[in-house]
Amino acid sequence: MAMRIVNKKKFIRGISIVIFLLIIIIIAIIMTVKGIIYLFTKPKETSQDENTITKMSNESNKQEPEKEQNTVTVATTNPRTVSQNEEILKQWNLKLVNKDNSVDRSYVPELEEIGDGVKFDKRAIKYLKDMINAMYKADITKIWVQSAYRSYDKQEELFNRKVEEYKEQGKNQEEAERLAQTVVQRPEMSEHNLALAADFNTVTNDFENTKAFTWLQKNAADYGFILRYPKDKQDITGITYESWHWRYVGKEHSKIIKEKGYCLEEYIDYLKGTQEV
């Protein structure tokens, strides 16, 4: 009886071992089959660099149409949309006044006196004073504002006086007015009506030979001022070179104008997108 029990236990143990081995063999077969299937079906691996290049290429393709649209709408180091530039063009300090862009006589800015009855736009006078004070600190004391704001009546008086000078030289009325306008703008077409222009010292081009002029060329943009009628832009401004005439436009704009070598007309076109970057 005892022998039967022992044999039965051996039999069961043997069966268990066989079953265990069969399970291991089955698992090994399954893993092998999976490995074979993976080898034949796995996707081609792409290196990290290839992924990066592909991603950049895709992004570049997506951005290309936007790049073409923006080439004519930026005006500063930071790209702006057309609508943003349109808002910038409405700024009081960028108001363009010339023979093609007049200002309504109803426009009279709030003024503040610099001294000796000379007045400037109240919003910009601080920058004019700071600039003159900086010149004094640089030991440039022979500097003063000869003319700034002019009323429309005063501008008309100056224009008519210049017309008469040319008529006395034998010019007819039409020719006299044309020549006068290259020197003194008509009322409503003068920056002096905006109170944003400052004429320095004797209001002659002898000013370009002074230390003050050299200093202004180098530093005026830091205070928001530009040389309004440069020598090499007369065909664009329509005004003869005036070394003494400096215009406030604001620091952000004056620095760009100086950097790009624009006159104000070109900068306005740049903002509009009609001037090449």
The Cα 160–Cα 163 span in angstroms is 5
Q: Is 261 left (phi over 0), alpha (psi -120 to 50) or beta?
A: left
**H/E segment holding residue 260:** helix 251-260
Q: Determine which one of 68, 110, 242, 259 is catalytic.
A: 242
The Cα 198–Cα 120 span in angstroms is 8
3-class DSSP assignment, residue 195: coil
The Cα 97–Cα 201 span in angstroms is 23
For residue 219, with 0-12 CB atoms within 10 Å meaning exposed, 13-18 middle and 19 or more buried, which class applies? middle
The Cα 232–Cα 65 span in angstroms is 36
Active site residue 242: yes
Give the tokens for residue 81: 């949309």
CA distances 233 to 35, 99, 125, Å, are 78, 15, 27
Residue 126, C-beta contacts closer than 8 angstroms, at least 6 positions apart: none
The Cα 195–Cα 176 span in angstroms is 26
Residues with a known catalytic role: 242
